[in-house]
A and B are shown apart, each in its own frame.
Chain A
């Protein structure tokens, strides 16, 4: 257990529905990252926050995707009008940028999304 939790662990939805995932990082970690992992591939970077500020978004993050970290603690990732191609594992990770190992990220267990 890394101390990072994600909810829900599994989500099945129908195409066109909206879904929201939540990540609770390690409490003192100020940086939070979202990745997407499809079957047989490595995780791909989506976006990251330092405290409550979203500092970078990947081109993978279409305008149907939005992420927030309102108080610099937990984060949410929302997908609007889901498509079958959104089916993947969504991973959250965190790190403390001012700590002794700022490059070491701790991952949550992921949310597996299936779009029917």
Chain B
């Protein structure tokens, strides 16, 4: 079956530091890959996605590249802000019914 493994947190960084959150996956077929973000007290929001190998998703300064050869979709940001503090979830979408399989989430705290 499908599965997602992401770097366990918590991750604590200072403002303007570089961020990487690792994510690897196991899937049949050709899934789409996602990063969702959950800010404190809010619901899940789509951060970015990539639908095929070598695609790069980007949004709000965050980037992730769909690497089929390493089955990875690592999240990066060059300079984090306090407002980026949240829980980040890596997920994949089943290619037949689009149901999502999530990783366990990574709590990011950015200090001023």
Contacts and interface: CB of A to CB of B under 8 A. Distances in A.
Contacts, number: 58
Interface residues of B, number: 23
Interface string B36-67: 10000011111001010000000000000000
A109 B42 contact: yes
A104 B46 contact: yes
B25 interface: no
Contacts of B97: 48, 55-56
Interface of B: 4, 32, 34, 36, 42-46, 49, 51, 89, 91, 93, 97-105
Given A95-B98, A109-B42, 18 more contacts: A2-B43, A31-B98, A33-B100, A35-B100, A42-B105, A43-B89, A43-B100, A43-B102, A45-B100, A56-B97, A97-B98, A102-B98, A104-B34, A104-B46, A105-B93, A107-B44, A108-B43, A109-B43
